[in-house]
Structure 1
Amino acid sequence: MGNTLKRHGLLKGAELASVSMSTVDRVLNARGGVSDLKRRKVLAVARALGIRPGLPETFSGPMIVDVLLADSATDHFKRLDTAFERQAQRLSAHVILRRQRWPESAPQQLLDALRKPRSRRHGMIVIAPDNPCVHQALNAIVQRGTPTVLLTSNLTNVQGAVYVGIDNHTAGRSAGRLMSQWVGQRPGAVLLVVNSLGYFAHQERAKGFIDVMAQHAPATPILGPVECFDNNELTQAAVTRALAGQPLAGVYDTGSGSPGIHAALAQAQATPLWIGHEASALHANLLRAGVMSLVLDQDPEGQVQAAIDYLLHQQGVIDAPPMLPLAMKIVIDENLPKQA
């Protein structure tokens, strides 16, 4: 009877995992010789069938995760760096976060890092632009069975990767809805500043904003989207040009050009409604001073935690996956932390 039950369990597990009975036997008895992808499938099916006692560990050593981030000095990336550093220290016995930076001016370095890892990796977390070469490289990685997390941008042409972040289209729509309510009684145009439309996140934010403004404030002209690449000088010049052409009722910046915007507004002594992204120290000061109107925050620290939790869950290390998509926070002067 025992052998019959065991054989039935192996047969059921093999059927659900789409592998042979011998593969199931090798995984459950930790005999090796099975790929990571098949190993994860068998362990997931075994847990689903309630076969927990004696189940082998997913790894004999630490999980190696490649983290590929754009080389940016913006507040958002500083927060990501700090969060990854904190998680690397916290999980050092179980996870190796192999962090690499790629210059946005040299996307080939990103492609090289995607296609030629320094050694075996069990997962990947990446911020990547929206272009066909990147799509191809990421799809190849996912198809080889490497769990992959996309931060900031949900690349819809990459099948099987998971996006960990806020709904950027909803973020843009939220900014448009709030802006449309405020600018109705103000003369002038609204300036839409973006980092780069090469990133799907900024495409989505800009589209959502424009759609809602057209619906709720159709008489308000929108200038842009103007790509400023998170460059303070370019952003300052764009705002200065907009102010010289006509009254400016509002500014929506989907990226990190706040120092440039602030400089241009201060020089012109202009006070348009201003919506930005990221709950940074700079933005807190600008909100308290009444210069900014509100900030939409995607919680980079929460993104990092959720990205790592997703990979740990995929590898069978933890039972519960993170709740996705992440919630967006709206920050105004009234809900900022109290100053000491």
Structure 2
Amino acid sequence: MGKSIKRHGLLKVAELAGVSLSTVDRVLNDRGQVSDLKRRKVLTVARAMGIRPGLPTPYTGPMLVDVLLSDSASDHFKRLEAAFERQAQRLGAQLTLRLQRWAESTPQQLLDALQKPRSRRHGMIVIAPDTPAIHQALNAIVQGGTPTVLLTSNLPDVQGAVYVGIDNHAAGRSAGRLMSQWVGRQPGVVLLVVNSLAFFAHQERAKGFIDVMAQHAPGIRIVGPIECFDDDELTGAAVAQCLAEQPLAGLYDAGSGSLGIQAALTHADPKPVWIGHEASALHAALLRQGAMSLVLDQDPEGQVQASIDYLMHQHGMIDSPPQLPLAMKIVIDESL
């Protein structure tokens, strides 16, 4: 009787997973010779049905995860990379993180990494620009059964991937709302600087900022968004040019380039309201000096943890998925 009940349960797993009974037997007894996709389907169904405790992992050996980050030298990316290194050390027996950098000036490098992986992968974490070719490549990967995390910058046209990051439209709106309250009826323009509008995150931040400023400070003219590619010299030049042409009431830097801004504002009087991103040591010093007014932080360490938790949950290695979306943090001098 017991064997009959057990066989009935295995037949149900096979039916729900869309595989043969022999495939279910090989997966549950960890005998190999089953594709990762079928193995994951069987284990997902078996776990949902409570067939047996101590189910095997959806693959043999450590989970192989490709992490594809752009080559930005900003504090955000430095924090991301350091957080991935810490997680790799902590989870070395369970997880292998294969970190690769691609040049933002050469998106074909990312396309090659997506389409020609060095070996099989069980998951992927990627920061990607908003282009049709990237959409197509990522959709093919997700549809092929590889759990995929879009980190920091979302791509709504990529179906089935999970986005791990803050709500960038809300971040831009928050910056706009705070800026509108500070600049009020002060004379001058507000400068909007971004990294690159090739990234959906910066499109969303710029749109949110402009929309709220138009609503709450309609008399303030916005210059930008100006793409400065997280480059200090380009960002500083954009600020210096704006200062040379008209009074500058406010500045929202949605990317990086704070050293350039600091240099350009050295002799500015009065100092504009300056809102930036990321809780870095430099920004802490600038907040204490009164040079910066406010910083929006997107918690890159939390992004890394949530990305890995999502992939581990997808593979049945942990029980609970991460809580998404992640919360944005607002930092001022009094909260340092």
Pairwise same-fold verdict (TM > 0.5): yes
Matched, 1:57 2:57: yes
1:254-274 residue CA offsets vs partner (Å, 9 max, x unmatched): 100211111111133441111
Task: Give distance in 1, aligned partners of 2:75 and 2:172.
Answer: 20
Matched, 1:68 2:68: yes
1:286-332 residue CA offsets vs partner (Å, 9 max, x unmatched): 00001101000001111111111111111111111111111110000
* Structure 1 residue identity aligned to 2:302: G
1:68-87 equivalences in 2 (<5 Å): 68-87=68-87
Residue aligning to 1:135: 135
1:151-207 residue CA offsets vs partner (Å, 9 max, x unmatched): 111111111111111011111111111111111132211111001000000000000
Count of residues paired in the alignment: 336
1:162-201 equivalences in 2 (<5 Å): 162-201=162-201
Matched, 1:202 2:202: yes
Matched, 1:218 2:218: yes
Residue aligning to 1:10: 10
Structure 2: gaps of 5 or more residues = none
Task: Give distance in 1, aligned partners of 2:50 and 2:36.
Answer: 21
Task: Give distance in 1, aligned partners of 2:89 and 2:207.
Answer: 39
Q: What is the identity percentage for the equivalent residue pairs of Structure 1 and Structure 2?
A: 79
Task: Give distance in 2, aligned partners of 1:55 and 1:248.
Answer: 62
Residue aligning to 1:123: 123
Moved more, 209-218 or 25-34: 25-34
RMSD after superposition: 1.4
Task: Give distance in 2, aligned partners of 1:147 and 1:323.
Answer: 17
Task: Give distance in 2, aligned partners of 1:165 and 1:52.
Answer: 35
Deviation for aligned residue 1:55: 2.3
Task: Give distance in 2, aligned partners of 1:19 and 1:96.
Answer: 29
1:1-340 equivalences in 2 (<5 Å): 1-336=1-336
Task: Give distance in 2, aligned partners of 1:331 and 1:54.
Answer: 45
Task: Give distance in 1, aligned partners of 2:2 and 2:222.
Answer: 73
Asked whether the 8 Å contact 2:130–2:199 carries over to 1, the reply is yes
Moved more, 29-38 or 136-145: 29-38
Task: Give distance in 2, aligned partners of 1:178 and 1:14.
Answer: 56
Secondary structure at the aligned position of 1:203 is classed as helix
Deviation for aligned residue 1:54: 4.6
Task: Give distance in 1, aligned partners of 2:275 and 2:250.
Answer: 8
Task: Give distance in 1, aligned partners of 2:305 and 2:176.
Answer: 29
TM-score w.r.t. the length of structure 1 is 0.95
TM-score w.r.t. the length of structure 2 is 0.96
Structure 1: gaps of 5 or more residues = none
* Structure 1 residue identity aligned to 2:166: I
1:133-164 residue CA offsets vs partner (Å, 9 max, x unmatched): 11111111111111111111111111111111
